[in-house]
Amino acid sequence: MKAYYHARAQEYDDWWLQRGLYAPRSDPGWVAERDRALAAVADLPPAHTLDVACGTGFVTRLLRGEVVGLDQSSAMLEVAREQAPTATFVEGDALELPFEDGSFDRLFTSHFYGHLEEPERLRFLAEARRVARELVVFDAALHGGEPRGEWQERVLNDGSRWTVYKRFFAADDLAEELGGGRVLFVGDWFVLVAAP
């Protein structure tokens, strides 16, 4: 998965913006819900936040307060520095966070948690709880009868094909999985959940 996202850095925002390979699949309902979900992210209270797997910074730029973005891909971080110039960025591993215990008020992650299989998910949750008092997960909703987890084939603009694991969430189930918390946004395509 790391190599896939590194290769996808220059075209990752095409998904958010429904352009390029995603333009034929563009759905006005999806776009409207995306905008509402992103507004819910922007409404989070300002905090000292670590954005794990920040990617291109497309969502990072909406976070208020002192923000540190972490990603394993130097190519993603290069784009992120342009999109979110007020944030600080660190190259590192989401499963071995290079920060002291209790360094942040909030750990935020967007469309990363759903890529984690069970062993990695448990490692990530332990690291999130170690470095921050609150965990906020923004990810894909369970909709349209999609399976809860699946292996997907994804194609990049250069024609390369990649196999990626992806889970979809019912908001209440995600809140329970995170150890209890509150649902901040739920829609057909997106969920946003905060947990202590």
| Per-residue confidence band for 144, with pLDDT thresholds at 50, 70 and 90 | confident
Q: CA–CA separation, 89 vs 169, rounded Å? A: 28
- pLDDT score at 8: 93
Q: What is residue 26's predicted lDDT score, i.e. its pLDDT?
A: 81
Tokens describing residue 188: 């057909």
Split at pLDDT 50, 70, 90, the class of 148 is confident
Q: 98, 90, 113: which is closest to 192 by C-alpha? A: 113
Of 4 and 44, the structure prediction assigns the larger pLDDT to: 44
Q: How far apart are the first and last CA of the chain?
A: 28
User: Is the pLDDT reported for residue 147 higher than 90?
Assistant: no
**Is residue 188 predicted with pLDDT exceeding 90?**
yes
Q: What is the CATH number of the domain that holds 131?
A: 3.40.50.150
- What is the residue-averaged pLDDT of the chain? 95
User: Coil, helix or strand for 106?
Assistant: strand
> Is 81 a residue whose pLDDT tops 80?
yes
At residue 2, the pLDDT reads 81
Instruction: Report percent pLDDT > 70 for the chain.
Output: 98
Above 90 in pLDDT, residue 145?
Answer: no
* Domain hosting residue 58, numbered range: 2-195
What proportion of the chain, given as a percentage, has pLDDT over 90? 90
Q: How many domains, in total, are found in the chain?
A: 1
Q: What is the pLDDT of residues 28-75, one digit of tens each?
A: 999 999 999 999 999 999 999 999 999 999 999 999 999 999 999 999
Average pLDDT over residues 173-182: 94
Closest CA to 37 of 191, 166, 194, 182: 191
Tell me how far apart the alpha carbons of residues 164 and 194 are, in angstroms, rounded to a whole number: 25
Q: 115 pLDDT exceeds 80?
A: yes
Q: What is the pLDDT of residue 46?
A: 98
pLDDT above 80 for 146: no
Strand order in the sheet with 104-110: 88-91, 67-71, 49-52, 104-110, 132-140, 190-195, 182-186
Per-residue pLDDT averaged across 105-113, rounded? 98
What the block records as the tokens of 98 is 């290079």
Whole-structure pTM value: 0.96
